Structure 1
Amino acid sequence: MTLKDRIIRLIETGGPIPVSTFMQLALHDPQEGYYATRPGLGTDFITAPDVSQVFGELIGLWVVHEWRAMGTPNPFHLVEIGPGRGTLMADALRLAYVAGGREFADAAQLTLAEPSPELRSQQGEKLKDYDPVFVDTLAKVSAGPMILVANEYLDCLPVRQFRKADGQWRECVVGLDDQGELTFGLAADEQRAPEGAAETSEAVEVQIGFDLLVADLVSRAGPMRALFVDYGPADATPGDSLRAFSNGEQVSPLARPGETDLTVDVDFGRLKRLATKIGLDVAGPTPQGMFLMGLGAQARLNQLVEANPDHAEAIFNNAQRLIDPKDMGSRFKAICLSTTGLPKPVGF
């Protein structure tokens, strides 16, 4: 029985399910979810570390700078959530070990929060020189000082969707049509206006994973920085942004659950409000292009071009995609959540 068949059976038995439940099953089901079985990095979607090594390298320099700003704790946890194939961290540590020297290398304890066995295998091979420790979730990272990075992680956290119909708010659900196929619909029960809804809003998304994320971060003992890079509006609540991708093409989110990547726009404004309310310091969100330029993107690009003159044009064009406001530079944002008492993080 496929994951789609199981979801249909679930709906036949208990009725329509919230969009957030559908996303959770499609992406994170341990047997047939997308990330457990078909992680299509480089085929279904391409992330910044795959575009240019400059991205990961600058993140590595950022980590070293913030480790020093924390007082060079030894040891400290260097954590990545959703590490993909390990490309970002491999690029980051290559420069971090140079910039931070032996002191940094001795202090950093690499921890990868990754539940997928297939991806753990790829990450372990690429990062074997750094002795990574694997955990299923952030909550399982041991206590102590921590610097966390996560690129394109927030966009795959499930969302509850709400839509206004006849002046009343109702939750969006996944049910079955007359042919027994998956279809979107609205729950019968009226809802109060969801968080972030404006008077003119017709649809609103609420990422329920944010609450648990900030709670995990604020509960940690010791100094902490958490850097997230993702796409979405800086201060507006997303409406209906659920999308699915297969081999680089946009497809229906309901067509092949578990076989396609699902993604939503990140509500950076809500994440900032939650983190501030619970007692974390927040820097950003800042456009990715400005963040990377503040970390020295131009200087690193010049170094790479000089060292590889035969590939100068490709190196420049790829790095430019990360920075150009017409490409990834504006749509992607960086946000940093920190324990109180630390100086403002570099790049913001």
Structure 2
Amino acid sequence: MTLKDRILRLIETGGPIPVSTYMQLALHDPAQGYYATRSGLGTDFITAPEVSQVFGELIGLWVVHEWRAMGTPDEFQLVEIGPGRGTLMADALRLAYVAGGREFARAARLTLVEPSPDLRTVQADRLKDYAPDFADTLAAVPAGPMILVANEYLDCLPVRQFRKADGQWRECVVGLDAAGELALGLAADEQRPPEGAAESVEAVEVQTGFDLLVADLVTRPAPMRALFVDYGPADATPGDSLRAFSQGEQISPLSRPGETDLTVDVDFGRLKRLAGKIGLEVAGPTPQGMFLMGLGAQARLNQLVEANPDHAEAIFNNAQRLIDPKDMGSRFKAICLSSPGLPLPVGF
């Protein structure tokens, strides 16, 4: 039985399900969810570390700088959530071990938050020189000082969608049409205006996973830094941003659950408000291009071009995609959540 068949049976038995439940099943079902069964990288989508090594390398320098800002603890957890094929961390540690020296190498304990057994195999091979540990969730990461990195993780957290109909707010649900196929609709029950629902707004998305994320982070022992890079508006609440990608093409989010990547725009404003309210310090969100330039993107790019003159044009063009406001430089944002008392993180 396919995941789609299971979802159809679920709806036939219990009625329409919230969009957030559909996303959770389609992306994170342990047996048939998209991230449990395939990586998608390079086929359905491509991320910044796959575009240019400069991204991961600058993240590595950022980690070393923040470890020093923490007072160079003798041991700390270096954590990545959603590490994909391990590209970002491989690039990051290659430069971090040079910049941080033996003291950094002895202190860093690499832990990858990755529930997929197949992806763990890929990551373990790619990062075997750094002896990674694995955890199913952030809560399972060992206690102690922590620096966390997550690139394009927030956008796949399930989202509740709400839409105004005849002046009343209702939750968007996935049900069945007359032909028995998956279809979007509205719940019968009226909802209170959801967070971010301005008078002029007709649709609102709320990623409830943010609440658990900041709760996990605030319970970590200090010092703690958590860097997230993702796409979405800096201070506006997304409306209807759910979309699906297969082989680089955008398709209906309901067409092939478990077989396609689902994504939404990140509500950085809400994440910032939640983190601040619960006691974390927040830097950003800052456009990715500005963040990377602040970490020395131009200098690193010049080094790579000089060392590889035969590939200079490709190196430059790929790195430029990360920085150019017309490409990834503006749409993507960086935000850093920290335990209180630390200096402003570099790049912000």
- TM-score surpassing 0.5? yes
Q: Distance in 1 between matches of 2:277 and 2:74?
A: 30
Matches of 1:114 and 1:142 in 2, distance apart? 15
Q: C-alpha displacement at 1:90, in angstroms?
A: 0.1
Say whether 1:309 aligns with 2:309.
yes
Letter in 2 for 1:160: R
In 1, the alpha carbon distance for the partners of 2:192 and 2:61 equals: 46
Amino acid at match of 2:151: N
Q: How does 1:64-83 map to 2 (within 5 A)?
A: 64-83=64-83
Aligned position for 1:331: 331
Q: Indicate the SS of the match to 2:72.
A: coil
Match of 2:265 in 1: 265
Cα distance in 2 between the residues matched to 1:41 and 1:118 = 14
String of CA shifts for 1:30-58, please: whole Å, max 9, x gaps: 01000001221110000000000000000
Give, in whole Å, the separation in 2 of the partners of 1:252 and 1:260. 10
Counterparts of 1:90-169 in structure 2, within 5 Å, are 90-169=90-169
What residue ranges of structure 1 are gaps of 5+ in the alignment?
none
- Write the deviation string for residues 258-278 of structure 1: whole angstroms up to 9, x where unpaired: 000000000000000000000
Q: What is the percentage of aligned positions where both structures have the same residue?
A: 88
Paired residue for 1:89?
Answer: 89
**What is the 5 A alignment of 1:171-320?**
171-320=171-320
User: 1:160 & 1:27 partners in 2: Cα distance?
Assistant: 15
Superposed structure 1 runs of 4+ greater than 4 Å apart: none
Counterpart of 2:164 in 1: which secondary structure?
strand
Task: Give per-residue Cα distances to partners, 1:225-262, cap 9 Å, x unaligned.
Answer: 00000000000000000000000000000000000000
Could you say which residue in structure 1 is the equivalent of 2:27?
27
Q: Secondary structure at the match of 1:320?
A: helix
**Aligned equivalents of 1:276 and 1:155: distance in 2?**
20
Q: Residue 15 of structure 2 corresponds to which residue in structure 1?
A: 15
> Counterpart amino acid of 2:315?
I
SS for the counterpart of 2:115 is: coil
SS of residue paired to 2:240: coil
C-alpha RMSD of matched pairs (Å): 0.3
- What TM-score, normalized by structure 2, do the two folds share? 1.00
Between the aligned partners of 2:342 and 2:31, the Cα distance in structure 1 is 42
In structure 2, what is the Cα distance between the partners aligned to 1:49 and 1:249? 20
Paired residue for 1:55? 55
